[in-house]
Amino acid sequence: MITLGVEEEYLLLDPVTALPVPLADEVRAASGLQAMTEAREIKSELLQAQLEAATPVCTGLAEVGGHLLRLRHAVSAAAQKAGCRPVACGAAPLAGGAPVPVTGEGRYLALQAQGARLVDEQLVNGMHVHVGVPGRAAAVGALNRLRPWLPVLVAMGGNSPLWRGRDTGFASWRTVVFGRWPVSGPPPLFEGPDDYDRRVGALLRAGAIMDTGQLYWQARVSERYPTLEVRALDVQLTVEDAVLFAGIVRALVATALREEREGAPLAPCPPEMLHAANWHAARYGLHRGLIDAHGRRRGPGEAVGALLAHIGPALDEAGDTREVNRLLRLFLGRGAPADRQRRALAAGGLTALTALASTESPESAESTEIMESTEGRGSPESAGDPGSTEN
């Protein structure tokens, strides 16, 4: 069984004004989170109005869902004590006058010096999926084969339509914000692990990035753990949606690993077309279909169907087919996350929007069955750490 782990970033909002509040240290210090902080399940982020929650290494989707639900409940309880509200939206719907302070760690302060105004606007939150790989060569080979599917993940998972009190018109404004860093977007094609290391080394020597944590590609090889990390997704509104995408990403990686072992030819994927497809996915989500690696337009149903056909054998092998199909039906029935945010805002204003995106939202509560199905599967301490996704 290929292992996986998930990281989610949450935004801390004032419960009355819905403005970001710099209370991350207070939330992390709150009663009940100390052990999680020490175990690196709850981590600081670049800005003090953000927190990251990380599951241990998991083998099944129910296990992933149980840990995410547990972590969301813990963060919500601690945030309530600190006087704020954590929300799972990909970008801050509102922003006040003064910038949110940067977390006072050396690396984050160096990022602030490098990124200037961009750091002030880094109030964006993602979902990162680490998938276990058998070695670095396999990881780079799988990375090459994942590239054409990243826009599909961006389109389906877009959950950041609002920014500074306005509708951006984009499904994933977070994708646009991250695209402004020196190394970002879909990764390039690599000849192998030596080529990967050589080109990353050139970026480091040039000073374009400070460290490998600044490889903000939508998928990358972990430098610390034997994993391939897929970072294309905005943080999801619900645990169920997060579990759905965790299953899809694991199946994509498993399919890429199998194709690499079998020596299947790489699908042509010109970089200019891939970047155009990625922008189109961030802009429209699934509303105007997707552009594929050949420049063809595919309708939403065709694009999602092609994804499922591609990963079907891997889902079967992992025993995930039934669960992924069930969660996908729920996802499509509710509508894409960006659409749900827009509907909530139109129906009930900021109050309804923050209630929807809250980590204690009614939709998240519906996921309790996932957590219950993980009882007896082991503790976080026995499972390990999926890895760190430094900002």
pLDDT in tens, the chain (391 residues): 899 999 999 999 999 999 999 999 999 988 778 888 778 899 999 999 999 999 999 999 999 999 999 999 999 999 999 999 999 999 999 987 789 999 999 999 999 999 999 999 999 999 999 999 999 999 999 999 999 999 999 999 999 999 989 999 999 999 999 999 999 999 999 999 999 999 999 999 999 999 999 999 999 999 888 999 999 999 999 999 999 999 999 999 999 999 999 999 998 899 999 999 999 999 999 998 899 888 899 999 999 999 999 999 999 999 999 999 999 999 999 999 999 999 999 999 999 999 999 988 655 444 444 444 444 333 333 233 444 444 6
Calculate the alpha carbon distances from 358 to 55, 72, 83, 141, 321 in Å: 19, 9, 14, 38, 29
Task: Note the pLDDT of residue 38.
Answer: 76
The per-residue pLDDT for 95 is: 85
What is the number of alpha carbons within 13 Å of residue 187 lying toward its C-beta?
29
Cα(372)–Cα(271) distance, rounded to whole angstroms? 44
Residue 131 lies in a domain: yes
Using DSSP bridges, classify how beta strands 50-54 and 219-221 pair: parallel, antiparallel or unpaired: unpaired
Q: How high is the pLDDT of residue 366?
A: 45
**Nearest CA to 346 among 162, 215, 89, 133?**
162
CA dihedral 275, 276, 279, 284 (to 10 degrees): -150
Domain assignment of residue 43, yes or no: yes
Q: Which of 144, 140, 151 is nearest to 273 (CA)?
A: 151
Within-domain flag for 389: no
Residue 376 has a pLDDT of 36
- Give the span between the Cα atoms of 112 and 117, in whole angstroms: 8
What are residue 210's phi and psi, to 5 degrees? -85, -35
Instruction: List the domain range (segments joined by +) for residue 175.
Output: 4-370
Identify the residue whose tokens are 């010096």.
113
Secondary structure class of 216 (helix, strand, coil): strand
Q: Please check whether residue 322 is in contact with residue 198, taking contact to mean a CB–CB distance below 8 angstroms.
A: no
pLDDT for 363 equals 54
Residue 167's φ and ψ, nearest 5 degrees, are -80, 125
Domains in the chain, number: 1
The Cα–Cα gap between 194 and 207 comes to 20
Domain membership flag for residue 134: yes
- Which H/E stretch holds residue 6? strand 4-13
300-318 and 239-262 helices cross at what angle (nearest 10)? Answer: 80
First to last CA, the chain: 29
86 belongs to a structural domain: yes
In the prediction, which pLDDT does 370 show?
A: 44
Q: What is the DSSP string of 145-190?
A: HHGGGHHHHHHHH--B-EETTEE-S-SBHHHHHHTTSSSEESPPP-
- List the CATH number of the domain containing 17: 3.30.590.20
Please check whether residue 187 lies inside any domain of the structure.
Answer: yes
Taken in order 109, 111, 116, 122, the sign of the CA dihedral is: negative
Q: What are 148's two structure tokens?
A: 């054409």
Q: Residue 234 class from Cβ within 10 Å (0-12 exposed, 13-18 middle, 19+ buried)?
A: buried
Q: What sign results for the dihedral spanned by CA atoms 53, 168, 337, 61? A: negative
Q: Which distant-in-sequence residues (6+ apart) come within 8 Å of 345 by Cβ?
A: 93, 162, 352, 353
Domain-located, residue 387: no
pTM of the model: 0.92
Predicted confidence at residue 383, as pLDDT, reads 31
Q: Is 384 inside a domain boundary? A: no
**DSSP annotation string for 269-333:** --HHHHHHHHHHHHHHTTTT-EE-TTS-EE-HHHHHHHHHHHHHHHHHHHT-HHHHHHHHHHHHH
Q: How far apart are CA 382 and CA 379, in angstroms?
A: 5
Q: According to the model, what pLDDT value does residue 3 have?
A: 97
**Per-residue pLDDT at 60:** 97
